Structure 1
């Protein structure tokens, strides 16, 4: 992971059902779109798999995530 990352970083799943705002190397927010509603979750990493998940979103994102933007994230979040 590049230590020069500027946060927040925005990602989304390729199916556009979850949108992520990566706040730091240890925490993120997720807006999850469900069939008839949306949910927001704040997540803080506490164990190695969690740290790895965040690291993957930041640096090795292409197989699972796409780049998103603050505008896209906030638009989806405002629908909650």
Structure 2
């Protein structure tokens, strides 16, 4: 099984889902951050970080990174151990 990075068009297509819930600008930005960190293995452009600073405090940004990183680490552990929901 290949767990490599999706090409940009495949990643964008995978992220497009019909969602009836309205998200705030902060929620959309947090989701964009999570998507970007997962797709680009933690590489964060200055432009995205600057937008984060406009909407989140330093402590909130640290909390977002911690949550995204811990979830990502847990997922890689599950994959490595061959643990799957059936």
Normalising by structure 2, we get a TM-score of: 0.24
Structure having greater relative contact order (Cα 8 Å, sep ≥ 6)? 1
The structure with the largest alpha-carbon Rg is 2
Normalising by structure 1, we get a TM-score of: 0.25
